[in-house]
Every structure is written in structure tokens, then in C-alpha cells.
Chain A
Amino acid sequence: MAIATPDRPTTAAPPRFFEAATPMPDARIPSGPLERKWTHRKFENKLVAPANRRKYTVIVVGTGLAGASAAASLGEQGYDVQAFCIHDTPRRAHSIAAQGGINAAKNYKNDGDSVYRLFYDTIKGGDYRAREANVYRLAEVSVDIVDQCAAQGVPFAREYGGLIDNRSFGGAQVERTFYARGQTGQQLLLGAYQAMMRQVQAGTVTLVPRREMLELVVIDGAARGIITRDLVTGAIERHVAHAVLLCTGGYGTAFYLSTNAINSNVTAAWRAHKQGAWFANPCYTQIHPTCIPVSGDHQSKLTLMSESLRNNGRIWVPKSAGDRRPPSEIPEADRDYYLERKYPSFGNLVPRDVASRNAKEVCDDGRGVGDSGLSVYLDFRDDIRRLGRPVIEARYGNLLEMYNRITGDDPFETPMRIYPAVHYTMGGLWVDYHLQSSVPGLFVLGEANFSDHGANRLGASALMQGLADGYFVAPSVVPEYLASARFTDAPANHPAFDAAANAVTGQLDRLLKVGGATTPREFHRALGRLMWDCVGMSRNQAGLERALREIPALRAEFWRDIAVPGTADLKNQSLEYAGRVADYLEFAEVMALDALERAESCGGHFREESQTPEGEALRDDRHFAHVAAWEFTGVGTPPVLHREQLGFEYAHPTQRSYK
């Protein structure tokens, strides 16, 4: 690590971080025209002869869309793949919960779609904070993904002629979204899971479920294995490999409440970060506007409802603060359809970040509805009158039923209540064009990497990216690494494995020994509240500085007062949870720091200091057209910031406007 001068003149306060003294390493983006880059690179990449492949062991951590598809594809090539997951079976990964669909530039609808258009939409949607070459490759392989999934037996929605049906999603002007009812994520995951299980039968993939990765082992500067804990027996295990693929998803549960699954966590990524993998753009989180609001302190997670609801529902709150009348008694004149009022041309269909921020604003004004005052109405009344109940029921029956199941309210009788919730994280471990992190041999796929979505992800793009990385990118770039690297002997009793295993055991012991009075959930909830208030939908300098003061204090309190019953040598969910919360208490700091340092608004990151006179997000391309990649230097010590400048040769940055 090379440390240069502090980023700003030191007065009284110590520096929060250091600028890297060394230039940013090459992201290995191929030269040549955009549409030839990937083809060219695939040809340049070195190969491993079929007979030699089984001599290489590849560890895949996480078996969601990215992990399962990578494990299956590398297994098919003949590598010795070990696939780890924290669940009882790979099929439970949270990719399964994606509802809407997957984009592919097939142009099956003949409505003007193309690889270039999907590329352009994704770059623009990401608010010009992603790499052009990566995004073009994503759009390019999107067509192969859908072919692959259809061949696996994914039951895509069909037209009567037997062809696949497509729809428009998330405001896209072309119909390029493929879907399987409201369960696209489930069906794509099962396709990848089944492909992987076929390789289990073939003997190329070894499945290792109910394991949590607790350390990355780095030998001679390269990733050579992991330490896991068997979540049933508590055994600490060493796994040696030639390359490690992290496919462990996002960090949305840093906010405690999110639409992520209960077991989603940052632990694997964070521990890799502590071993040298840089964390890029951690402040980029996506807040989804149409979620079911919080009902009380007992709330453990939030449920997303497809944003397609905004096609027929009108969003409103009472005009005056403190109006507690039931919605049916609030006359038209006393209602504020604030999105329609402020954005006459897009109305209720403004992008996710705009809709979310406006909901927060009206609730902060005291005009929120429901017991908590933290929700807004999404009202189908007008369209039920106009189109009839059967039409609305046919379009949204499942969603309305789900809402009714959770809230007890009937959306046909009373307006639904919605509020934004954390949904997806665009930031993640920094990777080059080869999806390799700053640690050679450590690859990062899917939501876990800092990704192709820039500062904001478009609808139906997450499934596309996870499968692009796993089915098509990893199978070319991982063999290139295996063929090029020089591997030294790295036995499981290597001192680096000893040290890593001891670190894991040491932390587990430490957690059990505190014997405090506060539960992991209480600390998680406290952290989540702080992050939501200060690093949530709308951020400002004062709030971010408050977060940076309070996170270390909360972390210190955690290690003074955490309560973890039981032992480490048996199934112990409290111990698992406490370890994940401990990591979040470290990670949250760099998230807040990244948000503070990025003093512009872009995509899902809204800095109140950087807005147009109309109150819209104002990007600052002159100062912030870069990826911020953070290097770990120690818990509570200033990290080192590496900036990767982003260039736009094809898609020229413009300011978004939805007026």
C-alpha cells in the first residue's frame, strides 16, 4: 500500500482518507471499436487444454444467478469446481425473489431494439457512472443468456403461436423484457441451479451447502482459498484452490430493513476487502419506491411490489400536514397528487429514485399517512372506475393479494400504502474488465461486484448481469487467469491458512466471550436506523459526518455489550448473525465516507448540496466521473482512495429531466 499526502490540508481534524500515490492499475479494457472489444478479448485470452482443466480447482462462493451459472459453466468445461452456499440448498439464493424479468436485446418485437440501444439505455440509466466497455459486453451477451435459459427449460411466458412473449419494463421504450409470470428470478435461478446439479452428477462440481465463508486466504499476493464455517457442526474448514469467485450478492441489509433476504450479508465481500480487494462505490444503493411500509418495531424485512403498479395507481397524500382523516373522507380538493403536479409529463412513472425521494419529502413534511406517518397512498380508485375491477384484478391480482396478506387491507376498498425501501446495491468489490478484483485470482460476479449499473440500475437488468457474468464472462476470463498465472505450492497447512483459520476462530471466541446484554438484532436495527437516516435516500454533509461519528461508537458498544448465547461448535444462528453485524459495523463506515466524498448527486445517490434550482439531482462530471475504489488499511483507520476515471466515447453524458 502506498500512502501519499492527506487529501486536504490538515487542521485540527485528522484526515478521513488518503489519496493513492500510485496510479490506478489497468482495468484491462480492450482497445478497438466498442462492438469488437469482447470478441477480440475472447480471442486474446489464453486457453487451458481440455485434458488439463480438471487439475485446476475453482471455488465459487454463493450460488445465486451469478454463482450457479459460473459453477455450471466452468464445470461443463471440465474444471474442478467447489460451490459453497450458506443455505441448505443452492436454490434458496435471493436471486429467486426477483419478480419482473430479464432484458435481452433480441428485438423480437421489431420495435427498434438493438445491442447498441440496450447498451445506451443502461449507460444513461446508470447516470454515466459505469464503464462503456463492460456495459456493451453485457448488452451483447444478453441475447445468448435468453437462448441458454430457454434451452434449459425456463418456462418463459409465450404467445399463442408458441413464440416467447416480451413486455416493456421500468419505463423502457422497447419491449425487451422476458418474463416467467411474476417469478422470473425463481425460474432463471432454477435453470442455473439445475445446470449446476447436472455437473454435480457429472462429478465436476462439488456442492458444499450450509457453509459460510469467513476468510479469504491470500498466498504470494494471490487468492488461494477460503476458510468456511460449517453452519451445522461449527467446524472451521480450509479449502484450497487456484482461483476464488465471489458471487455473494449485495449489502442492502446494512440498512437492517430492506427487500433483501434475512441471510443476505456483506461478510464474504468485506472479509475479502480486508485481505486487499478494493471496495468500489459503496454509496450507490437503490431505493425502490413501491414497497409495503413498515408496520412496527417487529418488522424484519420489507416486501417489494412490482413498480408496474404505478401504471394504474395514482400516488397522493393529504394537502395539509396532520390530516388524519381516513382516505375515503379526504375530498379531491384536499389531496395532493404530488408526482403528477411536479412532473406533468412523466407523472406517477418518474424513475425509481425520483419517486422515492419525493415520497420521503412529503412524509418529512408531516403529510405521510398510516399509523407511522411513513407512507403514501397508491390509489387504484380512478382506474377501477374507468376500467372496471376485473381489468385491475387481471393485471395485478397476485400483487394485490400479497399486499392484502401482509397488511390486512383490501386495495379495492381502500388505497394501498407504499414507502420506499432499500432494494439493490450498485456498489461492490472493484473488478477490472476480467471481473478480477485487486487481488489476483479473486473474481467477483453479479451484485457483489461494483457492476455495470453505474449509479442506478434499470429494471430487469440485475438478472441479466448476474447471468452474463456467470454464463459468459467467467468462462472466458477465469481460464485465461489459470493459463497465465504461475502457481506456487499452497497446501492447506500453509502458514497463511493457519493464520486465516486462527483469525476466524479468534473472532468467534471473542463474540461468545463478551457476554453482554444487547442482541445482534438490536445492534443491527440501530445501525440500520442510522444508515437510513444519514446515508439513505437523501444525503447531506452534516448527516454523513454524524454517521461517521456514530458508527465507530456503535461498533465499540457492540464489542462491549453483544449477547451471543450458545457455543461455536454447534448450529448457532445468533453467532452467525453477530458475525455479520460485526462486519456491517465496519463496512458502514466506508459506505458513509464514500457518500460524503462524492459531493455530487448521481443516480441513486442524492446529495442535497448538489441539486438543480428545481430540486432535481445535479451530476458533477468534472469532478466525479470516476469510480471510487477504497483500499482497506485497518478498522477505524483512514482508507486509501483510488480513482478510476470513466471515459465516454460513445454515450455522451446528458442531464436527466422528467419534467
Chain B
Amino acid sequence: MIVNPAPTRTAPKGMRIALRVWRQANATTRGRLVNYQLDDVSPDMSFLEMLDVLNETLIKKGEEPVDFESDCREGICGSCGLMIDGRAHGPLAGTTTCQLHMRTYRDGDEIVIEPWRAEAFPILKDLSVDRSAFDRIIVAGGFVSVNTGAAPDANAVLVPKGDADLAMDAAACIACGACVAQCKNASAALFTGAKVSHLSLLPQGGPERGRRAIRMVQQMDAEGFGSCSNEGECEAVCPKQISIGTIARMNREFTRAALDGAS
């Protein structure tokens, strides 16, 4: 899919962009939206590079730069994630914040930038939040119990191609948290469903599928994430376009395990 079909660009070099950015010193202080103006934004910049430029000007003025997280800046590590004009990762489908480029905007635009908002993701500073709840959901059961050295030959267990492909679709999750941020219930069902699906679709994950589903769902609830009410917003903003079918699969796994008496 080519997302930028226009071969020639008419957008001027050096756009004027108004920003309203959430500033909050730490987890316990109150935050507020602060206005900034950038006058020379290149359409070739990524969204985060635009924030880099803002931060350079703030440091030059002796002010603290805006705290935000990013690492690979190629859409795979899941570090970045901003609420841009009320939409997780901004206006483009299947795109992380770091892969959003300023050519998506026009001269004179105003952009509101907020952190992920969810009780289970406390704000640490400005646009950075604590997503360690995701790690604890994985600790609860998001793995296959196989010690190093105990594995059979890789081809000893056959996996139908269709199952492997579906498992890969689910395994593509980058744990960015957009699904939680966009959901009106702040549900982590897509994140948890993706891992439950990935492992339950493969024979290697079979023996533990029941207890895995039960434990991960219990941990998800314990972390304070909301329930899933089938809004579908998670799927709409997921940069890896993970299907809400994974939530259905998680529910099926959970129910099956509960009826089997797994724990």
C-alpha cells in the first residue's frame, strides 16, 4: 500500500505549525497544555524530528525540553506513542508516531499533543507514561515453558502454514499501548489477545494455553485496565493493524479454560 501517492509535492518548505503540548513535571503534579510555535517545519521531517527541533529551541532558551520516548524510529520498537489531535499515533492508519511525517500537515495547522491517557499507564513526565503493566501481563503467562537446551529439532513439530501466518499476524504487536490509549474503557484486550492468540495458535504453545489465558486475563484486570466493549477503536489505531479477532480468540481460550477448570 502506497500511503503517499502524490509523486510531486506542492507543500512549501518551512511550514508554520502551532503546537499545544501536554507538560507535566512528574507523576504527582498537575499538567497543562502549553502553546508553542514553530516557523520552519520541513515536510520531510518526521513528527518526532519536529519535536526534536522544538526541544532544541527550548534548551537554547534554558527551558526544559518536552520529555517523550522513542528509540528505533522505524516503527518496530514500540517506544513512541503520542495522542495527536485525539488519535493515537496520529491520522495515518497502520503508522507509528515515529513514521508519521510532517508532509501530512499543511502550513498553519495547529496540532494538539497529549500522552497516552489510562489509569494503568501513569504519566511519568510530559508525554512519557509508565507501561510496565504490559510486562506484568507477559510475566503472568505470555511465554512457552521451554528451558534453553531442551528443544527438539526445529522441524520435529510441524505447523500448518495458515496457523503460522495467523500467529505471526498476532505476534507483530509492538506493545506501544495505542490500543489502551484509544479505548474509551482503557482496555488492554487487544494487547493481551494478541499474545494469547500468537501462542495458542502454535502447537508449541498448546500445553499451556488454558492456564496462560486465565492468568494473563486475571493480570490484565488486576492492573486496572478496563473491559472490552467491542468498540473496535484499538484495531483502528493499531500501528501493526492487529485484528480484534485476537480478542475473540482470547475470550474463547479463556472460556474454554474456565470450563476445563484451568488455573
Using CB atoms and an 8 Å cutoff, list the residues of chain A in contact with chain B. Answer: 69, 72-73, 76, 87-94, 96-97, 106, 108, 144, 146-153, 155-164, 178, 180-181, 183, 186-187, 190, 193-195, 197-198, 200-201, 207, 209, 232, 261-263, 295-296, 298-301, 303-304, 397, 400-402, 404-410, 412-414, 471-472, 475, 517, 519, 521-522, 563, 565-566, 570-574
Contacts and interface: CB of A to CB of B under 8 A. Distances in A.
The interface centre, meaning the residue of A150, A209, A402, A409 with most chain B CB atoms within 10 A of its CB, is: A150
Given A147-B152, A262-B71, A155 B168 contact: yes
Contact of B138 (A162, A194, A573): A194
A296 B42 contact: yes
B73 interface: yes
Given A97-B72, A195-B148, A571-B128, A412 B60 contact: no
B157 A200 contact: no
Contacts, number: 247
B69 interface: yes
Contacts of B50: 298
Contacts of A147: 151-154
A296 B159 contact: no
Nearest to A573: B67
A631 B52 CA distance: 36
A237 B28 CA distance: 23
B89 interface: no
Given A89-B131, A519-B60, 17 more contacts: A88-B132, A89-B134, A90-B135, A92-B77, A92-B79, A108-B155, A153-B198, A155-B202, A195-B143, A261-B71, A262-B71, A295-B42, A296-B45, A471-B149, A565-B63, A570-B25, A571-B128
Contact of B44 (A153, A296, A566): A296
B77 A96 contact: yes
Contact of B144 (A146, A152, A200, A295): A152
The interface centre, meaning the residue of B130, B138, B141, B154 with most chain A CB atoms within 10 A of its CB, is: B154
The interface centre, meaning the residue of A69, A157, A201 with most chain B CB atoms within 10 A of its CB, is: A201
B259 interface: no
20 contacts: A91-B135, A144-B151, A148-B151, A151-B144, A152-B144, A155-B168, A158-B161, A181-B168, A183-B172, A190-B171, A193-B138, A197-B135, A198-B143, A263-B71, A295-B42, A296-B44, A408-B103, A409-B7, A517-B60, A522-B56
Given A183-B172, A571-B125, A410 B4 contact: yes
A303 B98 CA distance: 12
Contact of B43 (A94, A402, A408): A408
B9 A408 contact: yes
A162 B139 contact: no
Nearest to A259: B74
A516 to B, nearest CB: 10
Contacts of B205: 153
Given A69-B148, A162-B159, A521-B52, A183 B128 contact: no
Contacts of A93: 77
B194 to A, nearest CB: 11
Interface in B46-77: 46, 48-50, 52-53, 56, 58-60, 62-65, 67, 69-77
B155 A164 contact: yes
The interface centre, meaning the residue of A108, A304, A407, A408 with most chain B CB atoms within 10 A of its CB, is: A408
A262 B70 contact: yes
Given A194-B142, A198-B145, A521-B56, A89 B99 contact: no
Contacts of A106: 154-155
Contacts of A303: 73-74
Contacts of A404: 2-4
A152 B77 CA distance: 20
B42 A471 contact: no
B71 A571 contact: no
Contacts of A298: 42, 44-45, 49-50, 52-53
Contacts of A413: 7
A84 to B, nearest CB: 14
The interface centre, meaning the residue of A197, A200, A263 with most chain B CB atoms within 10 A of its CB, is: A197
